[in-house]
A and B are shown apart, each in its own frame.
Chain A
Amino acid sequence: MRLPHLPKMTIRQRIIVSAVIQAIMICVIGLFVYFSFEDVLSKLRSIERIDDINIALLEMRKAEKNYFLYNDINALKESAKLGEEEYQILLSSKPFMGSILRGPGRKNYDRLLDILKEYRSLVNNLVDGKAAPRDFGEELRSRGQELTLVSEGLLKLERENVSQTINNNVIMLIAALGIIFLIQLVLWQYFFRLIIEELNIMARMIKIVSEGRFQEVAVKTISPHNEIEIAIKAISDMAGQLAKREEEMLQAGKLASLGVMISGVAHELGNPLNNISLMAQTYLSIYDMLGDEEKKIYMGDIYNQTERIHKIVEKLLDFSRQKKQELKEAELKDIIDISLLLVDNQLKLAGVNQHVVLARDLPPVYVDASQIEQVLVNLFINAIQAMPKGGDLFISAGHDSETSNLILEVRDTGTGIPQEILPNIFDPFFSTKGTKGTGLGLSVSYGIIREHHGDIFVESKEGKGTRFIIKLPSLTG
């Protein structure tokens, strides 16, 4: 059901407003019940009165009958006294018979008073001897009968009135319950459904953050209007901060990798530099003996060596440069090749043999290639450091057609990781390498792979080696 929009309210305001509405509702229903009970009660009271009057009327008529049967003047006096009392009761009952007097009972009440008046004057006349029983006996009797009839009529009318009132009240109570139910529905719709929806949004955001996909949640939200929206904005801001921190970590991780790569880099730069030096020295010392063609060859070789240095420097700069994540279609093979090139000398120095096995027809991946390179360089450096006496580094890539994931495996034959620290290796700043490591490499790698909606696992046996498995969604998936 679509409802018109209410002004934005905080949860506190919503709770107060809905509590006030409910309190008003309860008061209204309470008052209604109170007044209907009061009404029924007053009607029951007047019924009681009429009942009393009826009984008194019967007493009076009994006295009247005794007078006619035994011609006992005392009985007639008794009847007159009862009639008088009756009249007084009827008059004094008037304030208690409000409901009767307002309804059709009014006629009966007035009639009762009139007849009673006539009856009394008849009896009084008889008592005073102003009239003879012969003349008035019949009239007195018929008046008495009429009194009984009217009084009983009044009673019947009032009983019907009470049951009618009770019926009406029951119907109205049921209707009121229905209205309460409807109001509750509206309150829910207006005040609380939105809260549940926003809580669900918040839960989804927290889940995404816990999966490390900060960037997805770090969006500019609308200005918050209630407590949950404030919390949502806080989560979004937090994710933004985490994304920023992660970027910094990424960079710190890269620099840490570079630090380890420095010996390899020195070696890689040292060789072409040496070649240039050797050729220049030779060229200078035998310059006079060289023909033009030979001089050209020398200079060409020197130029080629400077190009070699240039490429290495470029590669390093490219690796260390801080870049925004840039997803592109890429071939896993190229990424593996470049990563291996970056640690090529490192492998040589450590006496590690590389074995690359790639499945045929690997589908392309949609990744930030330089980030995946960072992950691989990291894993390679870890593997090399785990094999100080040389060993084998196996790199394989395959495609799981069922999940359409690409599965990349990096395995070494190194020292392995103790089982007790295996769960911690992806934690930031967790390192077993002392001053040699920053503890950033694997945590940054983990972050990168999760950002790519992938997964990274580790298996290790002490003394046997370690295997890292990376799953990345392929483009065909």
Chain B
Amino acid sequence: MAKKILVVDDEKIVCDMAKAILQNEGYEVETFTDSQLALEALQHTPYDLVVTDLMMGQISGMDILREVNRLYPNTKVIMLTAYATLDATIEAIRERIFDFFPKPVKIEALKQSVKKALGD
């Protein structure tokens, strides 16, 4: 059965590209541009991997990370961000982040990280 990946980013292009790339790799991908809806989806659907943007308004990538850690301690989280302060990075590391990608993201590197996270 294909591994399920959740992608959260308020940029639609990021969602679309990630979906296209990761589906191409054989994963099942669900995307949300609204982080609130993503948080709701997490309540009833477990995912094998979560790829999320950090800065997204009301519900941030950090909130998604904490929720994933709380609900599914085995699920890995990869974070993307256009701009991160040192404080935000340290906080993410403490919350057991799997990988951290500054934007613009290299697709190859992201693909490698996803593979690694899913133990493929």
B83–A270 touching, CB < 8 Å: yes
A305–B13 touching, CB < 8 Å: yes
Interface size class of A (residues with CB under 8 A): 20 to 34
Interface assignment of A282: CB less than 8 Å from any CB of chain B: yes
Interface assignment of A345: CB less than 8 Å from any CB of chain B: yes
B20–A282 touching, CB < 8 Å: yes
Give the residues from 9 to 50 in chain B that come closer than 8 angstroms, CB to CB, to chain A. Answer: 11, 13-14, 17-18, 20-21
Q: Chain A, 78-91, contact with B by CB distance < 8 Å: what is the 0/1 string?
A: 00000000000000
B83–A266 touching, CB < 8 Å: yes
B82–A282 touching, CB < 8 Å: no
Residue of A nearest to B18 (CB): A278
Interface assignment of B93: CB less than 8 Å from any CB of chain A: no
Q: How far is the CA of A282 from the CA of B106 in the complex (A)?
A: 10
Residue of B nearest to A281 (CB): B107
A348–B82 touching, CB < 8 Å: no
A278–B55 touching, CB < 8 Å: no
Q: Chain A residues near B11 (CB, 8 Å)?
A: 271, 274-275
Q: Chain B residues near A348 (CB, 8 Å)?
A: 55-57
Contact of B13 among A263, A270, A278, A351 (CB under 8 A): A278
Q: How far is the CA of A236 from the CA of B13 in the complex (A)?
A: 59
Name which of B55, B60, B85 has the most chain A CB atoms within 10 A of its CB: B55
Q: How far is the CA of A345 from the CA of B107 in the complex (A)?
A: 25
Would you call the interface of chain B mostly helix, strand, loop, or mixed?
A: loop
Q: Given A274-B14, A348-B56, A349-B55 in contact, is the A263-B104 Cβ separation under 8 Å?
A: no
Q: Given A266-B82, A274-B82, A348-B55 in contact, is the A285-B13 Cβ separation under 8 Å?
A: no
Q: Chain A, 337-353, contact with B by CB distance < 8 Å: what is the 0/1 string?
A: 00000000100110101
Q: Chain B residues near A277 (CB, 8 Å)?
A: 103-105
Q: How far is the CA of A286 from the CA of B11 in the complex (A)?
A: 22
Give the residues from 91 to 120 in chain B that come closer than 8 angstroms, CB to CB, to chain A. Answer: 102-108
A57 nearest CB across to chain B (Å): 130
Q: Chain B residues near A266 (CB, 8 Å)?
A: 82-83
Q: Chain A residues near B57 (CB, 8 Å)?
A: 348, 351
B91 nearest CB across to chain A (Å): 13
Q: Chain B residues near A271 (CB, 8 Å)?
A: 11, 82, 103
Q: How far is the CA of A348 from the CA of B10 in the complex (A)?
A: 11
Interface size class of B (residues with CB under 8 A): 20 to 34
Interface assignment of A156: CB less than 8 Å from any CB of chain B: no
Interface assignment of A23: CB less than 8 Å from any CB of chain B: no
Contact of B17 among A269, A273, A278, A349 (CB under 8 A): A278
Residue of B nearest to A345 (CB): B55
B107–A278 touching, CB < 8 Å: yes
Q: Chain B residues near A275 (CB, 8 Å)?
A: 11, 13-14, 17
A263–B14 touching, CB < 8 Å: no
B103–A353 touching, CB < 8 Å: no
Give the residues from 258 to 289 in chain A that come closer than 8 angstroms, CB to CB, to chain B. Answer: 263, 266-271, 273-279, 281-282, 285
Q: Given A263-B83, A270-B83 in contact, is the A276-B104 Cβ separation under 8 Å?
A: yes
Q: Chain B residues near A285 (CB, 8 Å)?
A: 107
Q: How far is the CA of A301 from the CA of B55 in the complex (A)?
A: 22
B90 nearest CB across to chain A (Å): 16
Give the residues from 135 to 193 in chain A that come closer than 8 angstroms, CB to CB, to chain B. Answer: none
Name which of A263, A270, A301, A353 has the most chain B CB atoms within 10 A of its CB: A270
Q: Chain A residues near B56 (CB, 8 Å)?
A: 348
B83–A274 touching, CB < 8 Å: no
A438 nearest CB across to chain B (Å): 20
Q: Chain A residues near B55 (CB, 8 Å)?
A: 267, 345, 348-349
A263–B106 touching, CB < 8 Å: no
B56 nearest CB across to chain A (Å): 7
Q: Given A351-B60, A353-B58 in contact, is the A274-B85 Cβ separation under 8 Å?
A: no
B58–A278 touching, CB < 8 Å: no
Name which of B102, B104, B105, B108 has the most chain A CB atoms within 10 A of its CB: B104
In the complex, the 8 A-B pairs of residues with the closest C-beta atoms, listed nearest first? A270-B82, A277-B104, A274-B103, A266-B83, A275-B13, A267-B83, A274-B104, A278-B17
Q: List 8 A-B contacts (CB under 8 A).
A: A263-B85, A270-B83, A273-B104, A274-B11, A277-B105, A281-B106, A281-B108, A349-B55
